[in-house]
Amino acid sequence: MTRLGALFTLLLLFAYSCAPTTASKFAQGAVVAANVADVHSTKRAIESGRAREGNPLMPDSWLDQGLIKAAASAGVIWLGTTLEVRGHRTIARVMQVSLAAVAAVVAARNYHLAR
């Protein structure tokens, strides 16, 4: 397992340990899975020569990109857990699932370009 894979595995375990309900675990798992797919698909699309990184703030290193995505995922998980614990369950889930959906759409497009 790569360092990046280990990092996202730890993040997923963190998310599952923080989640107060099963639905929260699903939403947080979706955030992590979508961000992993985004990093992997971006790498494949760029290596195929048919795409480039559209975010000018993203570094060239895959490890650095993974660390940034892992930190962003951890922030979304923390915010979602905080919102849910404070009684804003619907807002927390909508935020997490929406961000996961955006990352999943980006990953799907990247995989399409990588073919």
pLDDT at residue 44 tops 60: yes
How many domains is the chain partitioned into structurally? 1
Is residue 25 within 8 A of residue 16, CB to CB? The reply is yes
User: Which residue type does 98 have?
Assistant: S
What average pLDDT does this structure show over 8-28?
A: 75
Q: Give pTM, 2 decimals.
A: 0.83
Which pLDDT belongs to residue 94?
Answer: 93
Domain that holds residue 86: 3-50+59-114
Q: How confident is the model at residue 1 (pLDDT cuts 50, 70, 90)?
A: very low
d(CA 66, CA 10): 13
Q: How confident is the model at residue 4 (pLDDT cuts 50, 70, 90)?
A: low
Q: How confident is the model at residue 103 (pLDDT cuts 50, 70, 90)?
A: very high
User: Which residue type does 110 have?
Assistant: N
Q: What angle, rounded to 10 degrees, do the helices at 22-48 and 3-18 form? A: 160
Is residue 39 within 8 A of residue 107, CB to CB? The reply is no
Rg (CA), the chain: 15
